Each structure stands twice: as structure tokens, then as C-alpha cells.
Amino acid sequence: MDLIRRTVLKGAGAGGVLAGLLATGMLKPTLAYANEWNKAAFEAKDFDAALKTIGADNPAANAALVMKAPDIAENGAVVPVDVVSQIPNTSSIAILVKKNPFPLAAFFEFANGALPDVSVRLKVAETCPIVAIAKADGKVYSTQKEVKVTVGGCGG
Amino acid sequence: MADPMKIRAQMKGDVCEIRVLMSHPMETGQRKDNDGKTIPAHHIQLVSVALNGKTVVSGQLAGSVSRNPVLGFKIKGAKAGDKISVSWKDNKGDSRSDETTVA
């Protein structure tokens, strides 16, 4: 009886300390980088495989996810891409270039007031769609835009 | 250590617009030099943006991001004078951290 009470008290005490540590942020040694680089996803050579590794197979279309990219990119080495998600609670945005040797180009996660709105410049190997994937409330949405490339970005 | 980043953080209404220019070759590992040897991959993998020490955006990049990456972000809840810090780490373990104040 006494023993059980002791264990319970101990457990509660430890839990309290843990909560305290979490509250003060002491239990977040990896604050600067929330995640490891997702090697499997970035090294996927196939568009569908890349989607799968980021848990985004079968994304739904959503007009609230908007991507801005040029219709024709004169220089495939620098293609500006803007992605804005108006979908509530968007937690992450991934950008993929469908026909690049490694399709996944960038992945961003948002927290603490960051808006799901990113711009980045990508290398695009050949004319193909650029695809943006947004995750919100556990659901996956996508939008895409075909970019014509006159000079590829990967040959050098 | 790599060259410093250029960071601009400006309030536009109640939204803080951040633009970062990083100085990095972003080598994909696909290119070949004149002798036909593959140039090894060398690119930024992790990016982190923090507002007053609190991470707001954590990003992961591939070699297919253009050389000297320019990234743009927007955050809510910032005000003039707040501290924005940006850091990156590449696949060779090199890293860089710079900060600026919101204007």
C-alpha cells in the first residue's frame, strides 16, 4: 500500500519536473533546427516516390493554395517561385520540380506566427510542372504550374 | 566560414516581411567539371528563422535551390525592434548564423 503511494507520488513529481522543463524550454536542445534533413525524401529520384516520403500521396486540389512562377523561364538555374497558402492551419509547404533528377526542392514548416508564405529560387532542369504541397490539419493539398525552360538549370 | 547572410526584415502593416540572401554554391552533385569528374554535392540542408529566439520557420533545402539562395518569409506578431535570426547548415557541416532587427 505504502509502496504504491510512493510510486505514485514519485511519478507525479517527475511529471511535474518534466512539465517545468518543457515550459522553460530547457528540453529543446534542437531549438535551432526542428528536424533532421529528410534524406529519404530529398534523395527520391521519382516524383511519386518523393510525394510518398513526405506523406503526401493523393493530395487534393485547393484554390486557397496559390503558387506564383514564371510561364517561361529563360534561365532554368534561377526560377523564382512563390507559394502562399490561405488554407487555415497550414503547417508546412513543400515545393517539388516534377522532372528534376531529385524532385523535392524545398520543405518549410511554420510555427509561432509564421505565415505559410515562402519565396525561393529553384533550378529547373527541363520544362515541367512545379508542384507545391501544403499540409493543414492533417490533410494534404497541392497546386501546380507548368514552367517552360529554355536553358536547363542543371547542366551547368 | 561562409560569407555573412544579408537579412532584411520590414514591417508591412501587421506582417513582417523577411528576405534572406545566403552566400552558398548550392552544388547539386549532378554537374561535371571539364575533366568529366562529378562535382560533389555541396548545398544547404537546414534553414531556421527565429523571432526573438523562438523558431518560426524551419526549412529543408535540396541542391536544386539556386546558387546563393534568396528566401522570403512572412511572420505575424512581430514589431519594429524585434530580433530576427537566421541560420543554415550545409551537407559538409558548415553553418552560419546572422541576425537583424525588424525595421
Confidence category of residue A153, pLDDT binned at 50, 70, 90? low
Rg (C-alpha) for chain A, rounded Å, is 21
In the predicted model, what is the mean pLDDT of residues A66-94? Answer: 94
Cα–chain center distance at B45? 10
Q: Which residue of B has its CA nearest to A41?
A: B62
- Nine cell digits for residue A107: 520543405
Assess contact for A125 and A47: CB atoms under 8 A: no
| pLDDT computed for residue A13 by the predictor | 52
pLDDT digits (tens, 9 = 90+) for B13-25: 999 999 999 999 9
Q: Do B69 and A117 touch (CB under 8 A)?
A: no
Residue B95 corresponds to which amino acid?
S
Confidence category of residue A57, pLDDT binned at 50, 70, 90? confident
**Residues in chain B whose beta carbon is closer than 8 A to a beta carbon of chain A?**
15, 28, 30-32, 45-46, 48-51, 54-67, 69-78, 87, 89, 91
Q: Do B54 and A112 touch (CB under 8 A)?
A: yes
* Domains annotated on chain B, with CATH: 6-29+39-101 (2.60.40.10)
Q: State the nearest Cα–Cα gap between A30 and chain B, in angstroms.
A: 10
ipTM reported for the complex surpasses 0.90: yes
Residues of chain B with pLDDT under 70: 1
- Nine cell digits for residue A17: 519536473
Which residue would you say has higher pLDDT here, A17 or A36?
Answer: A36
Kindly report the number of other CB atoms within 10 A of residue B58's CB atom. 23
Q: Which residues of B touch A118 (CB under 8 A)?
A: 57, 59, 71-73
Q: Which residues contact A92 (CB under 8 A, 6 or more apart)?
A: A107, A108, A109, A110, A116, A134, A135
Please provide the CATH number assigned to the domain covering A39-149.
2.60.40.2470
Q: Where are the domains of chain A?
A: 1-32, 39-149
DSSP letter string over chain A? -HHHHHHHHHHHHHHHHHHHHHHHTTT-TT-S-SS---HHHHT--SHHHHHHHTT-SSPEE-TTEEEE--SEES-TT-EEEEEEE-STTEEEEEEEETTSSS-EEEEEEE-TTEEEEEEEEE---SSEEEEEEEEETTEEEEEEEEEEESS-SS--
Indicate whether A43 pLDDT > 90.
Answer: yes
Q: State the nearest Cα–Cα gap between A91 and chain B, in angstroms.
A: 10
Q: Do A123 and B49 touch (CB under 8 A)?
A: no
Chain B contact for A91 (CB, 8 A cutoff) = no
**Cα torsion B30, B34, B36, B40: sign:** negative
Query: Would you call B28 helix, strand, or coil by DSSP?
Result: coil
- Residue B94, H or E segment: none
Q: How far is CA A107 from CA A80, A95, A135, in A?
A: 15, 6, 11
